[in-house]
């Protein structure tokens, strides 16, 4: 595991698809591309929970603006379309380059529709695709309602038939290597996309039909963790929350002042990260590099509180780890 030219250095969890050799056939990776592509990526800022969400987002935008990035993207649970969040949106919109959005399950809290969120953010749509520097990017909406008595309780976490048909069509009609963004994980059955297997099959069939590894990477947020999976040659990368991990009522703890607790009462149910975390991703014809931010917890850590980590599947950590995926050409 120490050779980072072949493996990603990651946290070990009992999963047969994790920590596999990072070599994949990519005979179309370098075609038509001579320059690398760089983008800034953040997830789960949770403006409507965190008292300092504006400061956190501003730090990300300042860092992104200082780098020569092709675009930035946020992976959902960003902010609800209230008038009082317009200042938060102005921070995001201060980035002078291209900006993209993914809808999270909490962005409709308060009775908003997905269409209202899209309009408020000035996003391209609930799901959509775009091209940049010889790569094809697809944004999914994992918040479709499942017309089934077996639907899990809580928030919708499903990709419906109409969207899956669109996804298959969109993949069929691009010849470019493809990167996908989703809020909920397609590789995590602990609160991820309920029909994840069905969704992954669309990606895998597109690769089979193309005759090369067309779909290469899938980025997700939602789970507020830091992990990686390789499933049938597709690399699934979880981007940790910019702000915190949710622990719930059993472990509630006031971590800031009484004044902040009064104005932002949901924070005490979380374990916040002291500083905001995000990542810069750089893709070249041979390699995907992720450069992540690292910080510490505010107040007692989950371990100090006696949190049963097995319930979360993957470890709770206040960072996004650096990752390197080497693309092996035939």
Q: What is the pLDDT of residues 119-139, one digit of tens each?
A: 999 999 999 999 999 999 999
Tell me the torsion sign for CA atoms 201, 155, 76, 114: positive
Domain boundaries, the chain: 37-325
Please name which of 199, 193, 73, 192 lies closest in space to residue 124, comparing C-alpha atoms: 73
pLDDT band at residue 328 under the 50/70/90 scheme: low
For 326, phi then psi, to 5°, come to -90, 130
Specify burial of residue 249 (Cβ count, 10 A radius: 0-12, 13-18, 19+): exposed
Q: What are phi and psi of 239, to 5 degrees?
A: -100, 120
| Contacts (Cβ under 8 Å, ≥6 apart) of 312 | 190, 225, 245
The model's pLDDT over 168-203, given as tens digits with 9 standing for 90+, comes to 999 999 999 999 999 999 999 999 999 999 999 999
Mean pLDDT value across residues 234-258: 97
β-sheet bridge partners, residue 289? 282, 324
Token pair of 265 as six digits: 């009462």
pLDDT-based confidence at residue 148 (cuts at 50, 70, 90)? confident
Confirm if 274 and 244 have CB atoms less than 8 A apart: no
What pLDDT was estimated at residue 151?
A: 85
Encode pLDDT of 52-94 as tens digits.
Answer: 999 999 999 999 999 999 999 999 999 999 999 999 999 999 9
**What are residue 178's phi and psi, to 5 degrees?**
-120, 140
Contact status, residue 260 vs residue 243, Cβ threshold 8 Å? no
Question: What dotted CATH number matches 37-325?
Answer: 3.60.21.10
The whole-angstrom separation of Cα 283 and Cα 297 is 30
pLDDT above 90 coverage of the chain, percent:
82
295-327 pLDDT, tens digit per residue, is: 999 999 999 999 999 999 999 999 999 999 987
Query: Please, are residues 228 and 238 in contact by the beta-carbon 8 Å criterion?
Result: yes
Percentage, residues of the chain above pLDDT 70: 89
**Neighbour count for residue 330 (Cβ, 10 Å):** 6
* Residues 255, 49: Cα–Cα separation, whole Å: 14
- Over residues 220-238, mean pLDDT: 97
**For residue 87, what pLDDT is reported?**
98
Mean pLDDT of 18-35: 42
Q: How far apart are the first and last CA of the chain?
A: 23
What pTM value is reported for the model? 0.89
Q: How confident is the model at residue 20 (pLDDT cuts 50, 70, 90)?
A: very low
Alpha carbon distance 52, 275 (integer Å):
10
In this prediction, residue 152 has a pLDDT band, given cuts at 50, 70 and 90, of: confident
**Tokens read off for 220:** 């997700």
Average pLDDT, the chain: 90
CA atoms of 106 and 273, how far apart (whole Å): 19
Which tokens belong to 166? 């669109």
């Amino acid at each position: 595991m120490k050779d980072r030219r072949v493996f990603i250095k990651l946290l070990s969890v009992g999963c047969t698809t994790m920590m596999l050799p990072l070599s994949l056939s990519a005979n179309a990776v370098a075609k038509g591309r001579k320059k690398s592509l760089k983008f800034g990526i953040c997830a789960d800022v949770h403006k409507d929970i965190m008292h300092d969400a504006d400061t956190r987002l501003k730090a990300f935008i300042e860092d992104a603006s200082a780098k020569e990035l092709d675009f930035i993207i946020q992976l959902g649970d960003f902010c609800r379309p209230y008038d009082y969040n317009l200042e938060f949106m102005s921070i995001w919109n201060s980035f002078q380059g291209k900006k993209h959005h993914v809808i999270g399950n909490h962005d409709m809290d308060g009775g908003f529709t997905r269409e209202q969120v899209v309009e408020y953010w000035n996003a391209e749509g609930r799901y959509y695709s775009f091209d940049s520097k010889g790569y094809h990017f697809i944004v999914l909406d994992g918040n479709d309602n499942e017309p089934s008595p077996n639907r899990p309780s809580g928030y919708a976490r499903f990709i419906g038939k109409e969207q899956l048909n669109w996804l298959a069509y969109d993949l069929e009609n691009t010849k470019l290597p493809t990167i996908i963004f989703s809020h909920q994980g397609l590789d995590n059955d602990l609160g991820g996309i309920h029909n994840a297997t069905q969704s992954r099959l669309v990606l895998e069939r597109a690769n089979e039909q193309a005759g090369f590894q067309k779909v290469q990477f899938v980025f997700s947020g939602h789970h507020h963790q830091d992990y990686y999976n390789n499933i049938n040659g597709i690399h699934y990368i979880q981007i940790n929350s910019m702000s915190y991990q949710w622990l719930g009522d059993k472990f509630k703890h006031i971590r800031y002042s009484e004044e902040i607790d009064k104005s932002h009462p949901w924070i005490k149910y979380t374990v916040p990260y002291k500083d905001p975390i995000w990542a810069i991703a750089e893709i070249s014809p041979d390699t995907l590099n992720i450069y992540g931010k690292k910080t510490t917890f505010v107040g007692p850590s989950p371990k100090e509180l006696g949190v049963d980590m097995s319930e979360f599947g993957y470890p709770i950590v206040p960072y996004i780890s650096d990752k390197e995926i080497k693309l092996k050409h035939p």
